[in-house]
Amino acid sequence: MKILVGWEPSPEIETIELMLNVGSHEVVICRHAAVYIDTLNKSHWDAVLLSLDFPSADEATAIFKATQEALPTSPIVGVIRNSEFARLIEYISDGLHSHIIRDDDQNFIMLLISILEAAEKNVRALRDQVVAERLSEEVRSVRKLQESVVPKDLPKLRDYSVVGRYEPSEIRVDGRNVVVMAGGDYYDSFALNDDQLVMLVGDASGHGVKACMSIMTMHTLIRMIRENRFIDTAEFVGAVNERLCRSDIVQDEGGFITLLYSILDTSTHQLQWTCAGHPLPLLQNMDTNEISTLGDEDQIGLPLAVMQGWNYECLSAHIPPRSRVLLYTDGLDEAFPPEGDALADQFGVAGITDALKESINMSLDEAMNHLFNKSTEITAGAGRHDDTSVMMIERK
């Protein structure tokens, strides 16, 4: 800690210098006002020890205010005689951080280093708190921007019900207080015409502003080109990929986006989808309570913005009566206990399957709540480390 001392010529100075120059502390003692002001402005000081009789009782106020102006974030510890208590009140009112009473036996000197260290730690803690609050506000702003692209109302369809849900990651940093993070997940749904419904979930790599802006870029792009006449979902995803490969926002620092883009034809009950590095959909038969994965792992294409010219596959499946389809991001299945292995002990597809089976007699909204609750439950209150988007559709 760098300590600046302003002290009038006094026999105490040698003892003060001896007591403060311990450990890694660097101390400079100034006996004259002009030298003090020059030294004050030449460097940054972590703490200041100031005799409130320096260079005299009448001039000390000006020295104090000059110190405040030069070092607005550093603590000033004032030393004053017990008989001058009225003057001390004025200094405290003007922002003196802390003080110590100057006794004639010089016992106060023994306390100086402890008080200076405590003052510096206190100011540093307050500074960290301000930074943390500002960062928290930035996270809230980013999260609001991200959540603005999540649809408030989903399309109404004959013979089908659709629900969607997004939750940011929630991390308990001290076992109690929850920090809500910003991420790069989202889901969307819109009708192409009277019979065709688009459902998609996406997940940008990373967290914070970068991931949010990547998702905003993809969301805007999809909304811009969705009216174009693409033959199938693979052609559409390929077109999105070509444009994102030219996006500096997404590709910065090796960024990418995973996407599951699907179109449901409600007249034929055919679901067509293309997967770009994303978890595959799950199909639940409500009569048998069997759950199967739609597609194979080798049919998962590269994430978006990784390689131009990648040929994505268009896959399709028939949606039987009384069945549900689940689209989700990896925040759901990658939830894990706070003391567990992030890979071996995670919720996983097995956990999703169990939760879906348990919710067979629940409404679609209740089934969605149950799924999120079970995924969160495995974290033992620590929260999921990734944000999560889920869409569920049920053929009645």
- Buried b / exposed e across 248-273, counting CB within 10 Å, b at 16+? eebeeeebbbbbbbbbbbbeebebbb
Task: Give the model's pLDDT for residue 248.
Answer: 87
Strand 47-51 versus strand 2-6 pairing type: parallel
Task: Give the model's pLDDT for residue 362.
Answer: 97
Task: Give the model's pLDDT for residue 182.
Answer: 65
Quote the DSSP letter at residue 349: H
Supply the pTM of this predicted model.
0.69
Highest mean pLDDT: which range of 10-14, 121-125, 199-203, 221-225: 199-203
- Note whether 395 and 197 are within 8 A (CB): no
pLDDT one-digit tens code per residue, 354-374: 999 999 999 999 999 999 999
**Fold designation for 2-127:** Rossmann fold (3.40.50)
- Calculate Rg over the CA atoms of the chain: 32
CA distance 359 to 367: 5
CA distance 204 to 244: 12
Q: At what angle do helices 33-42 and 60-70 cross, to 10 degrees?
A: 10
Task: Give the model's pLDDT for residue 237.
Answer: 96
pLDDT one-digit tens code per residue, 140-180: 776 777 777 788 888 888 899 999 999 887 665 555 556 66
**Fold designation for 148-395:** Phosphatase 2c; domain 1 (3.60.40)
pLDDT one-digit tens code per residue, 292-301: 999 999 999 9
Average pLDDT over residues 318-334: 96
CA distance 10 to 25: 22
Sheet strand arrangement including 270-276: 185-191, 196-204, 257-265, 270-276, 315-318
Which amino acid is present at 19?
Answer: M
Task: Give the model's pLDDT for residue 395.
Answer: 95
Q: Domain spans of the chain?
A: 2-127, 148-395
Task: Give the model's pLDDT for residue 216.
Answer: 87
Quote the DSSP letter at residue 196: E
